[in-house]
Structure 1
Amino acid sequence: MQDFTTTTFGILVFPEVEELDFVGPWEMLTMWSKVANGPGRCLIVSESPGPLTCAKGLSINPHVSFADCPPLDYLLVPGGQGTRREVGNRALLDFVSSQAANCRAVLSVCTGSFVLHATGLLAGKRATTHWAQLDRFRELGDVDVVEERFVRDGKLWSSAGVSAGIDLMLAFIASESGDDAAGKVQHASEYYPAETRYGKYEDHAQAPAYLKRPRP
């Protein structure tokens, strides 16, 4: 089994990033490091040093800026309202492109997929995004949009919205480090979602296809 303790995993953040988009994966990622020999270095990365404000008002202090970020083995790009601005941010897109070139895997959560697309990484690839943005994602024209909780296409991973990033990260851990490692993380974090669905929103006209399938 590969030694992940020598690897570095970066999570990109920006103003108006959706909190759970990165905090959920961060919890799974750092739990992996703690209980199952995951990456030895986990970093929150932003364009500039200093605190920034997330979509719901949480203020965070990234570990490193683009200028002092080391080469990453893995990169995750979350979503949020801020992505609508960041898809035109040349500095951010250049950072993602340059890091992605040498990453073992690049992941997105929610509308972070639009950032990956803006770099050209998703051209001709299978990917997904938040249910409310599926049509806008299809309009890009060169992405095979899949309505699943998460999708893998080679070294590129993407997930549906917000909480789906947790499922993405567990599946990623299983793929990279095996089912036992993912099981240790799932058990340590007590991530066993209740099956209860409220308000019948699985019947909503825009509900993604995976919600409409019968549960096993």
Structure 2
Amino acid sequence: MQTRRHFIRAALTGAVAVGGCGPGHEPVAGTPNEERNMADHLNVGMLVFPRMDQVDLTGPFAVLSRLPNASVQLLWKDTKPVRDYRGLGLVPDARLTEAGPVDLLVVPGGPGQEDLMEDEVVLSFITKQAARAKCVFSVCTGALVCGAAGLLKGRSATTHWRSVHLLKYFGAVAKDQRVVVDGTFVSAAGLTAGIDGALRVAELLRGAEAAKAIQLDLQYAPEPPFDCGHPDKAPAEIVAKLKATTEKLTAQRLATAKRAAARLKVPVED
């Protein structure tokens, strides 16, 4: 069984010194007129947790690990490998208690997000880091975790299309968009939208030229075989089938969101 599973480690020892993209690749740098954006080193902290969806992490990681003058750490309660909900192994670099101040905090989603919604250790960590971070970036239902930590009150935000209706319980202005930028908070919709969101974050923190260089390095020019990536475009029977398969989890998320609304004193009309 072990030979059929793979573990992803962001660094063999500690944080990844970023600016390149693996053996044989040169660092991705900005143009001289962006030097003012490059002066400060960026500490990027990406939350990992059991039963997350790895695409919420690995898509943005491909972008953010190419930010000039930055380092990335995967953070969790301990450094034991965790499995995403499809079975992919992920190895945290550092414990939450060991993490220093983070300039960019990334909060992914996935079914395991439910276990974080009332976890005071995780929520306190997010709240503390967000208070001094230059940017907080949520992907998919990671927005719900940020909401539970009190970060969405009065902010515009997006999340996976199956959970957009839950954002109001955290005091957010829900936007059914692929990426939403509200000040220092950036949110991306479901899964692959994390790549688009990460490019926007790269632009915010390192300028448009650096973000464009990263996009080119990734050869990110999607041409999906089907125009079926949003319920407004997908056939009705496919939308209905997917809703049915996720009905139980969506109901659970609704119940959790309502408890969060009560705790955060967010008035909501159902």
| TM-score, normalised relative to structure 1 | 0.87
| Residues in 1 aligned to 2:204 and 2:116: alpha-carbon distance in whole angstroms | 29
| Offset, 1:3 | 2.3
Is 2:205 the partner of 1:162? Answer: no
| Residues in 2 aligned to 1:26 and 1:5: alpha-carbon distance in whole angstroms | 20
Is 2:110 the partner of 1:75? Answer: no
Is 2:126 the partner of 1:91? Answer: no
| Residues in 1 aligned to 2:83 and 2:223: alpha-carbon distance in whole angstroms | 31
Equivalent AA in structure 2 for residue 116 of structure 1: C
Equivalent position to 1:6, from 9, 34, 41? 41
| Offset, 1:119 | 0.9
The root-mean-square deviation of aligned C-alpha atoms, in Å, is 1.9
2:160 aligned residue: 130
**Paired residues for 1:1-216 under 5 Å:** 1-3=36-38, 6-32=41-67, 37-39=68-70, 41-138=71-168, 140=169, 142-194=171-223, 196-198=225-227, 202-204=233-235
| TM-score, normalised relative to structure 2 | 0.70
| Residues in 2 aligned to 1:190 and 1:98: alpha-carbon distance in whole angstroms | 36
Gaps spanning 5+ residues in structure 2: where?
Answer: 1-35, 241-270
Gaps spanning 5+ residues in structure 1: where?
Answer: 208-216
| Residues in 1 aligned to 2:99 and 2:64: alpha-carbon distance in whole angstroms | 18
Aligned residue pair count: 201
Q: Does the Cα contact within 8 Å between 2:45 and 2:105 map onto a contact in 1? A: yes
Larger radius of gyration: 2
| Residues in 2 aligned to 1:173 and 1:63: alpha-carbon distance in whole angstroms | 22
Q: Does the Cα contact within 8 Å between 1:29 and 1:38 map onto a contact in 2? A: no
| Offset, 1:78 | 0.2
| Residues in 1 aligned to 2:72 and 2:213: alpha-carbon distance in whole angstroms | 18
Change (3 A) 1:199 1:99: closer
Q: Does the Cα contact within 8 Å between 2:157 and 2:167 map onto a contact in 1? A: no
| Offset, 1:59 | 1.1
Equivalent AA in structure 2 for residue 169 of structure 1: A
3-state DSSP of counterpart to 1:31: coil
